[in-house]
Amino acid sequence: VSTPSPMPVITGMGAIAPTGCGIDELWQGVMRNRTTFAPIVHFDASRASTDVAGFVTLPGCDAGSPERLLELALVAIRQATAAAGLDDLSDAVLLVGTTDAGAELGGWESGAPPPCNATIAGMLARRMGIGGLATGLGNASASGAAAIALAGDLVEAGEARAVIACGADTITRTAYYGLHSLRVLSPEGSRPFDARRMGIRISEGAGAMVLEESSSALARGAGSTCRLAGWGVSNRASHLLRSSSRGIAEAMLRALDRGGLARDDVAYVNAHGAGTMQGDAEEIEALRDVFGPALPAIPINSSKPVLGHCQGAAGMLETIVTALAVAHRVSPPTYGLDAVDPRWADLDFARGSPAALRPGIGISLSSGLGGINVALALAPPGT
């Protein structure tokens, strides 16, 4: 941390994803396409268009365990708070984004509902000794990113010195068959921006980051990976199931505006890039609207071919990737991109190999059902 700033700094990050456990595993995974996709065995997935999903390794806690959501989040939060060197959590705020309703897990009638969107923040706060506001966020696939945006608000408003933002999700039968009913599960996995893209591959995982008021972090000698330089949220849609390029563009412009950033400052975009026909097209249209003729010079990358779609954790894990990309000044490759959609042949998707980044801001985009869009701007420390 160089100089105090009203924008929060990120002092710690944690991740558990199909790429492995830890930030290094996440980074190496997205750089080298190291991941774990496997057939679903904890419920019958045979009636869907595919039975493959992205899994994490969590010893002692099976994929179908009611405690899995809580355990995933705990792993990520512990990593993040340890990396931040944040020992006293009694005043910290906890925000947890997840899509997990817990309805299929049972146990509610016994008076002990499982970890789910309504209960997980309180459960985690108790386990971790977190004493500030603790709440869940239910913003669909953008839940993890929305947690970061809300963390930005809390720090900027001076209501919290340290916020732990988390996104976590498991693979539930409800979500799996629900997405199958929408015909967005792809047997080939996610192939963002490819002409023959067919949809998503669902995954589980959790990510967490500690965001702190910069002078507070400075005072306790904490280092930072990145600065949250701007954030913007929009909900602009004409239909719950259809994203809107205008909404995505507005979220980006809001993030740039909040951080006092120019479009020229942006050196990298980590797209939502789910690999759906409609969603990818809306996202690229939004990027063209915002960056105009400068867009071909900005590497655009999607982490979903490697991570899968980690649902409520997706926005968090991809923001961590963005932070690492701007810190290392390299964009991970976009894998699974065999034939770029001809409409976007002029764009740089870091296809097949990493792309060097010029110094600048990274933008992480997340979208979810209902028309929610979150844009997060990440700046390397000292900028």
How many residues of this chain bind another protein (CB under 8 A)? 73
Query: At closest approach, how far in Å is the CB of 254 from another protein?
Result: 8
φ, ψ dihedrals at 139, nearest 5°? -95, 40
Contact 99/138 with Cβ under 8 angstroms?
Answer: yes
Q: Which residue in the set 20, 29, 132, 360 belongs to the binding site for another protein (CB under 8 A)? A: 132
**What residues between 211 and 240 interact with another protein by CB under 8 A?**
232-240
Amino acid at 162: A
User: Which residue in this structure is represented by tokens 């949250």?
Assistant: 228
CB of 30 to another protein, least distance (A): 26
Region 107-126 residues binding another protein, contact defined as CB under 8 A: 108-109, 111-113, 116-119, 121-123, 125-126
SS3 69: helix
Of the candidate residues 24, 87, 183, 359, the single one contacting another protein (CB under 8 A): 183
Nearer to another protein, 111 or 221 (CB): 111
Contact pattern for another protein over residues 36 through 65, marking x by CB under 8 A: -----------x------------------
Q: Near another protein by CB under 8 A, which window of 93-101, 213-221, 270-278, 317-325?
A: 93-101
Q: Are 341 and 193 in contact (CB under 8 A)?
A: yes
CA distance 45 to 7: 44
SS3 (DSSP) at 168: strand
Least distance to another protein, CB of residue 246, Å: 8
Query: Which one, of 68, 278, 101, 64, lies nearest residue 178 by Cα?
Result: 101
Residue 146 CB, shortest distance to another protein, in Å, is 6
Closest CA to 305 of 67, 84, 29: 29
Binding status of residue 369 toward another protein by CB under 8 A? yes
- Binders in 239-278 for another protein, by CB under 8 A: 239-241, 247, 250, 254, 258
Coil, strand or helix at 136: strand
According to the binding rule CB under 8 A, does residue 182 interact with another protein? yes
Of 139, 106, 104, 101, the C-alpha closest to 120 is 101
Asked if residues 340 and 231 have their Cβ atoms less than 8 Å apart, the reply is: no
Between 126 and 196, CB nearer to another protein: 126
Decide: is 328 part of the binding site for another protein (CB under 8 A): no
Q: What is the CA radius of gyration of the chain?
A: 19
Choose one: 162-170, 300-308, 346-354, 365-373; the region binding another protein (CB under 8 A): 365-373
Do 306 and 197 touch, CB atoms closer than 8 A? no
Of the pair 228, 300, the CB lying nearest another protein is at 228
207 in Cβ contact with 30 (< 8 Å): no
Cβ nearer to another protein, comparing 83 with 116? 116
Of 19 and 234, which CB lies nearer to another protein in the complex structure? Answer: 234
CB of 36 to another protein, least distance (A): 25
Three-state secondary-structure class, residue 189: coil
For another protein, the closer of residues 154 and 355 by Cβ is 154
Q: Using N-to-C axis directions, what is the helix angle for 314-328 and 143-156, rounded to 10°?
A: 70
